[in-house]
Amino acid sequence: MRVEQHPILKFSHGGMIKFYFNGIEMYGFEGDTIATALYANGIKVFGHSAKKKRPRGFFCGIGKCSSCMMRVNGVPNIRTCITPLQEGMIVESDKYDLPETAPYRKPERKTMDVDIAIVGGGPAGMAAAIEAGKHGDVSVLIIDEQPRLGGQLIKQTHKFFGSSMEGAGKRGIEIASEMEEEARKYADILLETSVIGYYNRGHHFLAAVNKLKGIVYEIKAKKIIFATGAQENYLVFENNDLPGVYGAGGIQTIMNVYGVKPGKAGIIVGAGNVGLILAYQLLQAGVKVKAIVEAMPRIGGYFVHAAKVRRHGVPIYTKHSIMEAVGKESVEGAIIAQLDEKWNFVLGTEKKIDCDFIAIAIGLTPSARLAQMAGAKVKFIREAGGWVALHNEFMETTANGIYIAGDAANIEEASAAMVEGKIAAVHALNSISPLTNFEAIVEELRNEISSLRKGKFGEKARLAKERIYEGYYEELRGNRSG
Amino acid sequence: MKSEADVVIVGAGINGCALAYELSKRGKDVVVVDRRHIAAGATGRCGAGIRQQWSTKENALLAKKSVEIFEGLEEELGHPIGFRQGGYLIAIHDEEDMKQARKNVEMQKSIGLPVRIIDREEIKEIVPILDPDGMKAIAATFCPTDGHADPFKTANAYALAAIRNGATFYKFTEVRGIKVENREVREVITDKGSIKTKFVVDAAGAWSSRIAEMAGIKIPNKPVRKEALVTEPLPRIFDAMVISFRHGIYFSQMARGEILGGIPSPEEKIGYHFEPTWSFLKKMAYMLGRYAPILKGTNILRQWTGFYDVTPDALPVLGEDKNVRGFIHCHGFSGHGFMIAPMTARLLAQLITGEKLDLPIERLSLERFEKGTVKEKSVVG
Amino acid sequence: MRSYEETGVVDIGMLKMPAEEQLRKGVAITECIQPIPCNPCKEVCPTDAIKMDDINDPPDIDYEKCIGCSLCVEVCPGLAMFVVRKRKGKAQITLPYEMLPMPERGDIVKALDREGNVVGDAKVIAIKHGRTNIITIEVDEELAMVVRNIRVEK
Ligand SMILES: Cc1cc2nc3c(=O)[nH]c(=O)nc-3n(C[C@H](O)[C@H](O)[C@H](O)COP(=O)(O)OP(=O)(O)OC[C@H]3O[C@@H](n4cnc5c(N)ncnc54)[C@H](O)[C@@H]3O)c2cc1C
Ligand SMILES: Cc1cc2nc3c(=O)[nH]c(=O)nc-3n(C[C@H](O)[C@H](O)[C@H](O)COP(=O)(O)OP(=O)(O)OC[C@H]3O[C@@H](n4cnc5c(N)ncnc54)[C@H](O)[C@@H]3O)c2cc1C
Ligand code: SF4
Ligand code: SF4
């Protein structure tokens, strides 16, 4: 199920790699993860749940959930969706017993001391690094757990919206490459390295781990910018744990980064921009999209995105949702039905759609946990996508010297994420050593971001930001009086 | 909010919830106030180990009586509490330890506990992943009726049963003051209103001294940050709680297979420090690897902090205040307030309702600190 | 009539229509009718034919200035720009095409409307490879405002 040809992407697969799945010899390509290699071999079921023995496949595809875990070379609980395939690997499903001896080597310990540490190398993080490097003479470090920089951008084959100034009209993958080249001029970069914790040790301190290479980094930083992006939301319906039910981001990853199709035909739940774009990207990869269902009475994403897929004959059912995934070991179909005013299914309107995957594209939740660990006060703000770190206009959280930017701050889009990254960087820089033109730079960035948030689609972001700033200042006042 | 109650309990941890149940069972009109929710304090953050192997007879008895209650608690409350009796395995590191262990075991046996000293071979039989060399253990004591319960489930089960009996819980409600007149408790003032009462129970865990202060009472308790962590779930390997008083380490395997444990962190200090530390994580990971080498490389899911409410002798303060009538002390539990809660609650309920107490509690009065105290030896963390 | 926000299909009545003579010259038709923060079309236009005071305004094309160069068709991330030119009873439509297979000049392909229905045949008369490939097809004149996509069957 590899993507044979693609109108936008060229997949240059590396050499063939032999591996074993439950004792059976299989082949993947260099550059595959274990999960994509298995998928390309037609393996969808990655194991069974421990108690009820329900089949399990991958869901998020970006190492944030735990449904793809298998035993690899004797080590239990390996996230196969982010673990690169290696020659001779022994991959086993449903193996829970401990090995005889721990497959463990003592990690190497490295200490670092930087001015600005940036966690997350998506558009927000890269923009922050570039801005910091341009305006000041400081040491900047980007840490990202993926094998390459770019965050969500590297899966986006479509041309981006937004301001021409932030690269709109170019494809996400192109913006990622251009920014990466810039960022490398100004920052040191640690890839495949997860930041696992923030600790205050009299100074800001991050602990990070490169599991593959066995390195533990202890990073001291004057300022930290968390640009950690967001996590896929999940939806409750019958059989939602069947292999073949995926997060939208997971599908984009295996399809657009690794060139493996999620299936032959699918449906998408959610007609926001992510769902609409995903539909279009599936069509480009030669995968059928049987329907897009949307619970709201209106399409949530941009009309132009909807029009793109409608033009290819993809139906969009508004006021509809998914009732049930059908299938034994993996998805064989989906039952959708209409919703009434109270969000109950209207009996008698059920439709069964034959498909072999179901994509969940119902929104994202900011990944603000690390910022919270660093002392940033969080608050539930619906417009922002959930629990978010309160911050001010300079993207500084309630914890001194701790910044947040991009989707991690509140769910928006790439242009806004980049500008936020820049604002955070400039402010951090200025508080390390004052810039002469600080006001002017910030003013310009502010104007740019407020124009992005002006229209109808910016309403949510405007509201979210208002409430975030409000919460920030309330918290600050509270601290002073308390 | 109710304007009156027989008893107002401050804190919905295991102690507040258990006492609410015992009192409501005796027909008292009880109100529990917590500024957060049930098990938001130390209760929801603890190891929830239940140990009867104590160095003094009084403490061992208190724990033993509690275990007897735990054994029938699920049935009594009508809700699951996740109680398991996998035993406690306590490391003996050298001859000096051995001397103390012999003394303890003798006393513990005398009150009917099935404790025994086991050799290195048996350590490995009971907990197959342990490496006695790494533990630096020459032997261990083991009591198979010690165990573990789920702290969330247990606190909730007590609360639900109390509510069934008519008790009222006010969550996200903070106690801000206590009105005392003529050296008697009159009223509890919260941010949501006031409640007239004759009895207020200070079961506020690490915040107990603040509550006491509201009634003009000074107590010597100090909040001490404690840390714990939990690993990813592993296959079921062992049922016992492994501890060492010397290393301060304790860990056991949870129902789902995770290993949960703690050790004093090198950065431990007194005060309300909520932040987890890197040095704890490293130390605990290292010690776990020494105790059970197979766990090296196991992923850690979470680390967190909680507070011990520590008194000079590491023993709780129980009973009515001598100067303020109606002010009931129920705090200072250090690292063992969960295991004795069922019995503590029963005794305090007996005290408040004027029944005869099953065990004497005078030795745990606040006044003991004036005389100078002897610290309990068998404490961890 | 259900709104385009429910159906994902624009009602032609909502579009600004150029005069016949402008159509004979060949001009851009924008189907970008919703306020979204986007402006590459405006930035790319060589004659400043696209008016947009604010980045959220939908583009407004000045047909006097538009020369039908189709640069905006190529850059638009919404694939919402088309160039239509009427000529000798036929309509030439320039549209973005990001699918496979690629047709070749002279191929007869299926002409699709805004819902993906086949409404006739189209002849491919020009292909320009760029960031987005843009293809000019020829269809019957009455389909000038109907056809917005093609399907290549190989
Ligand atoms: C389908 C889709 C279509 C989109 N289309 C558009 C569009 O047309 N126009 C537009 O402007 N925007 C678009 N967006 C939104 C845009 O992609 C995001 O808003 C943007 O990528 C957010 O950038 P970010 O840098 O905040 O986060 P991300 O791009 O998500 O990057 C976060 C990075 O942080 C890393 N990270 C997280 N936690 C850790 C950790 N603990 N340790 C190390 N690294 C960590 C991650 O690996 C990741 O690389 C789209 C998004 C999607 C999903
Ligand atoms: C890491 C760790 C491990 C432990 N391991 C064990 C173990 O294995 N076995 C064992 O027996 N014990 C253990 N303990 C100790 C045990 O957790 C405590 O002794 C016990 O939970 C105390 O319960 P409590 O109900 O007295 O207090 P808490 O559970 O702390 O409850 C106090 C409550 O009071 C509330 N409160 C505070 N101030 C106010 C106010 N002003 N108004 C209203 N409400 C207020 C708080 O919100 C809180 O919910 C451990 C503790 C820690 C921290
Ligand atoms: S076709 Fe050319 S001239 Fe006309 S609006 Fe588009 S870019 Fe401008
Ligand atoms: S580039 Fe396309 S989507 Fe963007 S404003 Fe112009 S017409 Fe609309």
A52-91 confidence digits (pLDDT tens):
899 999 888 887 788 898 988 887 788 899 888 999 999 9
Q: Do B295 and A197 touch (CB under 8 A)?
A: no
Bridge pairing between strands B199-202 and A55-56? unpaired
Q: In CATH terms, is domain A108-231+365-481 a member of 3.40.50.300?
A: no
Is the pLDDT at A174 greater than 80, yes or no?
yes
Helix (H/G/I), strand (E/B), else coil: C29: strand
Q: How far apart are CA C126 and CA A383, in angstroms?
A: 46
Query: Tens of pLDDT along C97-147?
Result: 999 999 999 999 999 999 999 999 999 999 999 889 999 999 999 999 999
Q: How far apart are CA A72 and CA A95, in angstroms?
A: 10
Q: How far apart are CA B363 and CA B251, in angstroms?
A: 31
Q: What angle do CA B265, B269, B272 make, to 5 degrees?
A: 110
Question: Where does B88-144+222-310 sit in CATH, by number?
Answer: 3.30.9.10
Quickly name the fold that domain A16-92 has: Ubiquitin-like (UB roll) (3.10.20)
Q: Do C98 and A8 touch (CB under 8 A)?
A: yes
Residue ranges matching CATH 3.10.20.440 in chain A: 16-92
Least confident residue range of A199-208, A337-346, A417-426, A451-460: A451-460
Name the stretches of chain B with pLDDT < 70.
372-376, 381
Atom of ligand 1 nearest to the CA of A416: 11
Show the beta-strand stretches assigned E in A30-165. 47-48, 55-56, 69-72, 75-79, 90-92, 108-119, 140-143
Q: Enumerate the residues of chain B whose CB falls inside 8 A of the CB of residue A218.
A: 278
> What is the model's pLDDT at position A104?
78
Subunits in contact with chain B (3 or more CB pairs closer than 8 Å): A
Question: Where does B7-47+152-220+313-371 sit in CATH, by number?
Answer: 3.50.50.60
User: For ligand 1, is residue A65 a contact (CB within 6 Å)?
Assistant: no
* Burial (0-12, 13-18, 19+ Cβ within 10 Å), A145: buried
The structural domains of chain C, with segments of one domain joined by +, span: 4-151
The gap between the terminal CA atoms of chain A, to the nearest Å, is 61
Q: What are phi and psi of B125, to 5 degrees?
A: -70, -40
Among candidates B306, B176, C76, C37, which has minimal Cα distance to A458?
A: C37
The gap between the terminal CA atoms of chain C, to the nearest Å, is 37
Atom 3 (ligand 1): residue with closest C-alpha? A274
Of residues A77, A99, A205, nearest to B278 (C-beta): A205
Q: How far apart are CA C142 and CA B227, in angstroms?
A: 76
Q: Enumerate the residues of chain A whose CB falls inside 8 A of the CB of residue B303.
A: 197
The gap between the terminal CA atoms of chain B, to the nearest Å, is 40
Are A280 and C95 within 8 A, CB to CB? no
Across chain A, mean pLDDT equals 93
Among candidates C43, C47, C71, C46, which has minimal Cα distance to C59?
A: C43
Q: How far apart are CA B277 and CA B281, in angstroms?
A: 7
Query: Above pLDDT 70, what percent of chain C?
Result: 99
Rounded to the nearest angstrom, the minimum Cα separation between B320 and chain A is 32
| Residue A482: band (very low, low, confident or very high) from pLDDT cuts 50, 70, 90 | very low
Are A339 and C38 within 8 A, CB to CB? no
The answer for residues whose C-beta is within 8 angstroms of residue A347's C-beta and 6 or more apart is: A337
Of residues C6, C38, C79, nearest to A318 (C-beta): C6
Is the pLDDT at A480 greater than 70, yes or no?
no
Are C27 and C9 within 8 A, CB to CB? no
Looking at all shown ligands, the one closest to residue A408's CA atom is 1
> Ligand 3 pocket: which residues have CB below 6 Å?
C 28, 44-45, 47, 49-50, 61, 66-72, 83
Q: How far apart are CA A401 and CA A393, in angstroms?
A: 14
Are C39 and A161 within 8 A, CB to CB? no
Q: Do B297 and A76 touch (CB under 8 A)?
A: no
Q: What angle do CA C110, C112, C113 make, to 5 degrees?
A: 160
Q: How far apart are CA A179 and CA B369, in angstroms?
A: 66
Residue ranges matching CATH 3.50.50.60 in chain A: 108-231+365-481, 245-363
Question: Where does A245-363 sit in CATH, by number?
Answer: 3.50.50.60
Please count the other Cβ atoms lying within 10 Å of the Cβ belonging to residue A265.
Answer: 15
Q: How far apart are CA A422 and CA A122, in angstroms?
A: 13
Distance in Å, CA B195 to ligand 2 centroid: 24
The answer for residues whose C-beta is within 8 angstroms of residue B108's C-beta and 6 or more apart is: B52, B53, B54, B60, B115, B143
Distance in Å, CA C72 to ligand 4 centroid: 8
- Whole-complex ipTM: 0.97
Q: How far apart are CA C92 and CA C124, in angstroms?
A: 9
Are C132 and A280 within 8 A, CB to CB? no
> What is the model's pLDDT at position C1?
57
Is the pLDDT at A183 greater than 70, yes or no?
yes
Q: How far apart are CA B21 and CA B30, in angstroms?
A: 9
What is the crossing angle of helices A414-432 and A123-135, to 10°? 40
Extract the tokens encoding A259: 């060139």
| Residue A9: band (very low, low, confident or very high) from pLDDT cuts 50, 70, 90 | confident
Average pLDDT over residues C60-86: 96
Length of chain A equals 482
Size of interface A-B (CB pairs under 8 A): 42
- Whether the bond into C101 is cis, omega within 30 of 0: yes
Which residue of A413, A422, A460 sits with most ligand 1 atoms within 8 Å of its CB, as the best mutation to test the pocket?
A413
User: For ligand 1, is residue A120 a contact (CB within 6 Å)?
Assistant: yes
Q: Enumerate the residues of chain A whose CB falls inside 8 A of the CB of residue B293.
A: 101-102
Show the beta-strand stretches assigned E in C31-107. 50-51, 60-61, 81-87, 90-97
Between A428 and A15, whose confidence is greater?
A428
Among candidates B220, B219, B202, which has minimal Cα distance to B211?
A: B202
Please count the other Cβ atoms lying within 10 Å of the Cβ belonging to residue B179.
Answer: 16
Extract the tokens encoding C87: 């000529």
